[in-house]
Amino acid sequence: MMTKEIPAIEMIDVSYRYPRSKKIVIKNLNLTVKQGEFLAVMGENGAGKSTLCQILNGIIPHSLHGKLSGKILVQGLDTQETPISVLSTKVGIVLDDPENQLFTTSVMSEVAFGPENLNVPVDEIRERIRWAIDVVGLTGFEDRMPTALSGGQKQRLVIAAALAMQPSILILDEATSQIDPLGVFEVLNLVKELNQKYGMTIVMATDQSEEVTRLVDRVIVLGDGEKVAEGTPREVFSDTQLFSRFMIRSPQVSQLGTRLKEAGHPLPVFPITIEEAQSGIIQILNGKKPSNPKTQAPSPKETPAVSTSDVIIHVENLDYVYQPQTVKAVEDVSFDIYRGEFVALIGQNGSGKTTVLKNMLGLLQPTKGKVIIAGLDTQVAPVADLARHVGFVLQNPDQQLFAETVEDEISFGPRNLGLDEETIKARVAEVLTLVGLEEKRQEFPPALPKGERAKVVIASALALDPEIIVLDEPTTGQDYKGCHQILQIAKKLNEMGRTIVFVTHHMALVTEYARRVIVMRGGHILVDSKTEDVFDQTELVLKAHIIPPQITTLSQSLPPELGLPRVALSVSDLANSILDRLGQAV
Amino acid sequence: MGSMVLYVPGKTFFHKLDPRAKIVFLVLVSTSIFTVRNIPLALIGLGVMIALWGLARLPWKILYGLLKTLVGIFIFLFIIQSIFYPGEQILVKPLIPSFIPLIGGSGKIAMEGINFAFLLIVRLLTMIILMPLVSMTTPVQNLALGLAKMGLPYHISFTITSALNMVPILQSEVSIIMDAQKLRAMRIYEKGKIMEKFKSYTALVTPLVIGAMRRAQSMAVAMDSRAFGAMKTRSYLQDIRLRWVDWAFITGTVAYSIGTIIVASILPRL
């Protein structure tokens, strides 16, 4: 099936511009991918990753026109001259949102869809279905409805559907960005197997650098449509300028390596894996006994005062059942959140996080138990009244933008409260400065880049001047820069005295920003404690299928006699402790 | 939230019917119901649909939900029809005296009007139950296959059936957008004047349309990369064959529809 002589993909001086657009999204790109190679494509949102993926499978120029120049050969076939019916048997693609890639009502018919379109004889289709479903591990699910599957299972089904077309190249365009960590784990393991066991060529657009290090042979970095860096994960992540120039998040251990190098204490080998960082740290700290045992305690974060007498969110024995089901989505959940806290609510999809949040806002009414927000009983107070106290930002910004300009969008809430125009104007100006969108006040919100759309939604919630801000997965689909900008805003608000509750699957953001973590599993609270205490309970965290940030795992793997914090929550946490120890030893 | 169109897996005879038999059923019954001008006959038609609903073991909750959402429209229709339908058997004297030009004499309620309104509602209900009866018992790909086998080009039948698939997605999108608006202190959905309500519905449109467009773009990429429409002919994993049950059902449907049309033309109106 595979010809070893020719490369799987060859791009020669490729440029592309979308129809009715002046911007060149891919600039003079040259790229060769060998048969069986695993390539990662990185770059911030808008750098051209998705466009590249669609050029590779022939969607550009066959379905999306625009101006394409240069030459693209896929398994030796020129994509501009080869029909989609042939290209689709060479390249399979998996996109981010599984919902948009499933068209039928059973797993089996979903896998059959592609081969049916190619007029493959029915007996052979059956054979291919059996094989593809077996490879992705969905045997036994043939008659299930795709809508009833978990996020990870859905993406595995999409992969099976692609495999049934028998491609030799598989493209994953942010395929793990919309699913929970357990799903990410399932999908990446499958992709690794396809690469190693079946010899498939993989091109994966992603920003998960830790996974990239573990899986791929080569990385290319796109910046503004150009290839700005290329090499093995080690070569690419060793470039300490990478982050500042192209907003690429290198693995946390590499970030640590960079920090130490800049401080004049480089590790013997620049680390890209936990093992390398671990042995490097042991080496440079070797023989330097901690002179002061007090450094053993984790450095407490400077926190604004939280008064434990001032309960602002009170949840008591909350049960919730989604009618007409009978299973409790949330069972016997109780917690108090105090004014000024910064809390992360984590757990897999379906663990009950969003259900709890919606009960907190009166969007759902408790089946049993009660919720009191800023003194208001959510079963009595209308949502619009609760909205004065709680700014709730839902997951997808696109479902929360109703107005024609950013300014109108932000005024929407205050107008509903019936505030006078003067006050509204002042509030709009205030929140625009807070989120840094002063320049965009006249723009059409849906046309802004994704990171800015999220900021408009946050600004709109802030315009109601709430004491509590609740963010439900605000970072889904955002790149590294976007994630941090959103949480920086939350941090600033917290420092101004607001209470923050957020849900996310990005554990590095949880440890870096949250001071308290509530872990949910199967509708129950599994742990509810200070961030460092939660991640100290390794077994419990694993039980909820939560993968701690790399830096935390690294700190836990270091021998205690080094006198470093047992649970490092951020790169700078650990870097500072190490530098501290080195300083003391001098 | 129960969807009123999405396939509900089941093993009843109605589920197992060939999609073509169900398409014939949908078309013939909805046509014949329009010829009915007689209340008892219309009620029989509605009764048959409800009986089929039970036979197909579809959730009664959904039927109840359907009625609940439509009750407003029905009341509106009832009032309008009873007031404006011309009739002899006057129950309520005209509200506006007949000496006023143009609008004089209107506002009366006649027995015929009430009867007509009732008939209209029964017929509408029958039609409304028909749709989910077919779409909830037939997987979309089988419906597409049925239409294709009946001669409709596959890309058209697939588009029609995909639209069905989109309904629950849009439903959930609408409820999320409405939640988002409530969270921005909007009260209209709880209580509010009709004009304001109308305005707030227009605020739904922007995010809904933009969301649908983004979704459509993604779906187009996914479909193209699975070779949708790439070949002139296409194979089908599922093989549908008209068995004797299907023929019996089609015969029954044809007999029932023709019978209805004939009886409707013989029986007196209303």
Query: How confident is the model over B185-241, as pLDDT tens digits?
Result: 887 655 556 666 666 777 888 899 888 888 888 898 899 999 998 888 889 988 888
Instruction: Give A244 to chain B, closest Cα distance, Å.
Output: 31
CB within 8 Å: A113 and B211: no
H/E element, B210? helix B194-224
By percentage, how much of chain A surpasses pLDDT 90? 69
Length of chain A: 586
pLDDT of residue B171: 84
Instruction: Give A384 to chain B, closest Cα distance, Å.
Output: 4
- The span from the CA of A567 to the CA of A332, in Å, is 30
Query: How confident is the model over A370-418, as pLDDT tens digits?
Result: 999 999 999 999 888 898 899 999 988 999 998 989 999 999 999 988 8
Domain A311-548 annotated CATH 3.40.50.300: yes
Burial of B7 (0-12, 13-18, 19+ CB in 10 A): buried
User: Which residue of B7, B145, B225, B240 is the best one to mutate when testing the A interface, meaning the one whose CB has the most A CBs within 10 A?
Assistant: B225
pLDDT of residue B1: 37
CB within 8 Å: B235 and A62: no
* A412 interaction partners in chain B (CB closer than 8 Å): 184, 186
- Contact A474/B at CB under 8 A: no
Domain count across chain B:
1
* B231 interaction partners in chain A (CB closer than 8 Å): 85, 117-119
Nearest to B53 by CA among B131, B108, B160, B123: B131
Count of alpha carbons within 13 angstroms of residue A385, beta-carbon side: 13
Nearest to A489 by CA among A518, A457, A511, A520: A457
Statement: residue B155 has pLDDT above 90: no
Dihedral (CA of B120, B122, B125, B129) sign? negative
- CB contacts < 8 A, A to B, total 176
Asked if residue B7 is part of any domain, the answer here is: no
CB within 8 Å: A108 and B237: yes
Q: Are A272 and A213 in contact (CB under 8 A)?
A: yes
Asked if residue B2 is part of any domain, the answer here is: no
Q: Which residues on adjacent β-strands are paired with residue A26?
A: A16
- The span from the CA of B58 to the CA of B133, in Å, is 8
Q: Are B143 and B56 in contact (CB under 8 A)?
A: no
Q: Taking CA B106 as the corner, what is the angle to CA B100 and CA B107, rounded to the nearest 5 degrees?
A: 125
* Mean pLDDT of the A26-40 span: 96
- Contact A59/B at CB under 8 A: yes
Query: How confident is the model over A168-199, as pLDDT tens digits?
Result: 999 999 999 888 888 898 999 999 999 999 99
CB within 8 Å: A85 and B220: no
Interface of A with B in 95-124 (CB under 8 A): 95-97, 99-101, 103-106, 108-109, 112-122
Statement: residue A586 has pLDDT above 50: no
Instruction: Give B41 to chain A, closest Cα distance, Å.
Output: 35
Is A7 or B8 the better-scoring residue by pLDDT? A7
pLDDT of residue A582: 86
Alpha helices in A200-273 (DSSP H): 209-215, 233-238, 242-246, 252-262
pLDDT of residue A139: 93
Q: Are A515 and A342 in contact (CB under 8 A)?
A: yes
* B179 interaction partners in chain A (CB closer than 8 Å): 363, 394
Single-letter amino acid code for the residue at B188: I
Lowest mean pLDDT among A68-77, A217-226, A406-415, B177-186: B177-186
CB within 8 Å: B9 and A62: no
In angstroms, the Cα distances linking A358 to A298, A354, A467, A472 are 35, 6, 17, 10
Instruction: Give A85 to chain B, closest Cα distance, Å.
Output: 5
Asked if residue B189 is part of any domain, the answer here is: yes
Structure tokens at A255: 């970030």
- Contact B153/A at CB under 8 A: no
Instruction: Give B175 to chain A, closest Cα distance, Å.
Output: 10
* DSSP reduced 3-state for A502: strand
Query: How confident is the model over B59-109, as pLDDT tens digits?
Result: 888 888 888 888 888 888 888 877 777 776 777 766 666 666 666 666 667
pLDDT of residue B79: 82
β-bridge pairing A169-173 and A91-94? parallel
Find the closest chain A residue to B229 by CA distance: A117
Nearest to B247 by CA among B11, B9, B4, B25: B25
DSSP A549: -
Count of alpha carbons within 13 angstroms of residue B117, beta-carbon side: 21
Question: For chain A, how far is it from start to end, CA to CA, in angstroms?
Answer: 63
Statement: residue A292 has pLDDT above 70: no
Statement: residue A293 has pLDDT above 60: no
- Contact B195/A at CB under 8 A: no
Residue-averaged pLDDT of chain B: 84
Count of alpha carbons within 13 angstroms of residue B189, beta-carbon side: 22
pLDDT of residue B204: 85
- Contact A527/B at CB under 8 A: no
Find the closest chain B residue to A125 by CA distance: B237
Q: Which residues on adjacent β-strands are paired with residue A371?
A: A315
Asked if residue B1 is part of any domain, the answer here is: no
Could you give the ipTM of this predicted complex? 0.83
Is A301 or A537 the better-scoring residue by pLDDT? A537
- Contact B10/A at CB under 8 A: no
Residue-averaged pLDDT of chain A: 90
Question: Model confidence at A477, in pLDDT bands (50, 70, 90)?
Answer: confident
Dihedral (CA of A406, A412, A418, A419) sign? negative
- The span from the CA of A403 to the CA of A400, in Å, is 9
pLDDT of residue A296: 45
- Contact A77/B at CB under 8 A: no
- Contact A503/B at CB under 8 A: no
* A461 interaction partners in chain B (CB closer than 8 Å): 183-184
Torsion region of A164: left, alpha or beta (phi above 0 gives left; psi -120 to 50 gives alpha):
alpha
- Contact A57/B at CB under 8 A: yes
CB within 8 Å: A113 and B139: no
Query: How confident is the model over B236-262, as pLDDT tens digits?
Result: 988 888 999 999 999 999 999 999 888
Q: Are B65 and B2 in contact (CB under 8 A)?
A: yes
How many Cβ atoms are within 10 Å of A313's Cβ, its own excluded? 22
- The span from the CA of A307 to the CA of A133, in Å, is 55
Is A406 or A325 the better-scoring residue by pLDDT? A406
Statement: residue B57 has pLDDT above 70: yes
Of A62, A120, A461, the CB nearest to B235: A120
CA dihedral A422, A425, A429, A434 (to 10 degrees): 90
Query: How confident is the model over A151-168, as pLDDT tens digits?
Result: 899 999 999 999 999 999
- Contact A583/B at CB under 8 A: no
Can you give the residue range of the structural domain that contains B92? 13-266
- Contact A326/B at CB under 8 A: no
Nearest to A160 by CA among A90, A85, A109: A109
Asked if residue B3 is part of any domain, the answer here is: no
Q: Which residues on adjacent β-strands are paired with residue A72?
A: A11
- Contact A161/B at CB under 8 A: yes
Instruction: Give A26 to chain B, closest Cα distance, Å.
Output: 18
- The span from the CA of A355 to the CA of A432, in Å, is 30
Lowest mean pLDDT among A85-99, A133-147, A319-333: A319-333
> Strands, DSSP E only, in A490-550?
499-503, 516-521, 524-530
Of B7, B221, B225, the CB nearest to A105: B7
pLDDT of residue A105: 84
Interface of A with B in 425-444 (CB under 8 A): none
| Domain extents in chain A | 9-236, 253-286+551-585, 311-548
Nearest to A161 by CA among A179, A176, A181, A146: A146
Architecture of the domain whose range is A9-236: 3-Layer(aba) Sandwich (3.40)
